[in-house]
Amino acid sequence: MKRLLLLIFSLLCGASVWAGEIPAVKAVKVNARIHALLGPMELPNAKNQGYMVNSTLILGDTGAILIDTGFTDEIGAHLAKAAARITGKPVKVIINTHHHGDHSFGNAAFPGAKVISSEMCRKLLLEGEADWLALVQGVTGRKFPNTRAVPATEVYPAKTRTEVTIDGVKLAFIVPEWAHTAGDMMVWLPDDKVLVGGDILVNQVTPNFRDANVKKWIETLAEVKAMPAKTIIPGHGPLMSAADAARLHERMARLYAGIEAGYKAGLSDSDIRKKLDLSEWKPLHHFEEQMGGNINKAYLEIEAAAF
C-alpha cells in the first residue's frame, strides 16, 4: 500500500492540486436490463476526484443491483444519479468485485442497500480502510468525512461458484482462490451471457499485480476463456469480447513465462525487464507507472515458489 501511495503522489509532484468535478458517467446499454457505467481510465487524481472505475447496473423486478461503487461516497452518489437516469427503481443490492477502495468505498452512498462480496473481500476491506482513505484524500487533496468502509453482510468463500436469484435476476458468484487480489469475485449472468469481471479483467489498461497471485490469476483467465461470454464488463476500460479476454490471458501468460525464464537463468528483475519484449504492453494505459512493479511482483512470486 505504501508503494502505491508513493507512486501516485509522485505523479502529482510539483503539480498544484485542483479539485475538479467528477467526470460524467459513460452509460452503455448492454441489453434491456444490464447497463455498463464506464468511468475514466486515468489514475485517481484531483481533476477526476478519484473516479476511475467501471460499474454495472442490473435492473431487477422491483429494484436495481449495482456492481462496484467508486472511491468515495460522492462518487457513489454520482453513480446513483446515473442509475436514476436509466431507471426509477431503487438500488437495493450492492456487489463488490474486490476490496480496493476505487471499487468499494462508494458503498457509503447506499445506506439502505444489501452489500455482497467474497468472504476475503470483506476482511481486506475492513483491514485496509485507513490506507485506502488516506490514498484518495492524498491524491485529490480533499477530505471525505462521509466516506468509509461499508463491508458486505452476505459473503462467499474462496474457490466457490454459487448460483443465486436476486430480484428475478439469475446470477452466479465465481470466487477464485486468488487472482488480482485474494478477495476477487466475478459475477456471471447466465441468461444474458454477460460476465462482470472486476479487475481480473481490464481492457486497454495495464493490469496491476500489487496484491495479486499472478500465476493463479492467469489460471483464472484460462477459465474465463472457456466461458460462453458474449459481453465482458471489465474493472477498467471499454467493454470486452471473449476474444479480448483470451488476448489478455495470452499476454499475461507470455509475460509470466518470460520472467520465469529470466529467473531460472539467474537474472535480476531489472535485467529481465531489459530483455523482455514488452511491445504488446507499451500501448496500454499506465504502462510506465505499472510495469516495473508488475515484473518485480511476478519475480518475487516465482522466487518464493522456488524455495
Q: What is the CB-side half-sphere exposure of residue 163 using CA atoms within 13 A?
A: 4
Q: pLDDT digits over 89-117, tens only?
A: 999 999 999 999 999 999 999 999 999 99
Query: Which CA distances in Å does 46 have to 14, 19, 38, 143, 212?
Result: 13, 5, 19, 12, 27
Please give the mean pLDDT across all residues of the chain.
94
**Predicted local confidence at residue 108, as pLDDT:** 98
**Predicted local confidence at residue 307, as pLDDT:** 86
Is the pLDDT confidence value at 7 over 50? no
User: In 118-149, which positions are buried (b, 16+ CB within 10 angstroms) versus exposed (e)?
Assistant: bbbbbbbbeebbeebbebbeebbeeebeebeb
Q: pLDDT digits over 106-150, tens only?
A: 999 999 999 999 999 999 999 999 999 999 999 999 999 999 999
Q: pLDDT digits over 15-61, tens only?
A: 334 457 999 999 999 999 999 999 999 999 999 999 999 999 999 99
Classify residue 240 by its DSSP letter: B
Estimate to the nearest angstrom the gap between the alpha carbon of 169 and the chain centroid: 23
Percent of the chain with pLDDT over 90: 93
Q: pLDDT digits over 141-181, tens only?
A: 999 999 999 999 999 999 999 999 999 999 999 999 999 99
Query: What whole-number distance in Å separates Cα of residue 97 and Cα of residue 117?
Result: 7
The edge-to-edge listing of strands for the beta sheet with 169-175 is 160-166, 169-175, 186-189, 194-202, 231-236
**Predicted local confidence at residue 229, as pLDDT:** 98
pTM of the model: 0.93
Residues near 305 by beta carbon (within 8 Å), at least 6 away in sequence = 215
What is the residue extent of each domain of the chain? 2-240
Query: Which CA distances in Å does 151 have to 108, 113, 189, 247?
Result: 10, 11, 23, 33
Classify residue 89 by its DSSP letter: S
Q: pLDDT digits over 212-257, tens only?
A: 999 999 999 999 999 999 999 999 999 999 999 999 999 999 999 9
Q: pLDDT digits over 274-304, tens only?
A: 999 999 999 999 999 999 999 999 999 999 9
Tracing cell 528483475 back to the chain, one arrives at 269
User: Domain spanning 2-240 has what CATH number?
Assistant: 3.60.15.10
Tracing cell 467526470 back to the chain, one arrives at 23
Residues near 307 by beta carbon (within 8 Å), at least 6 away in sequence = none
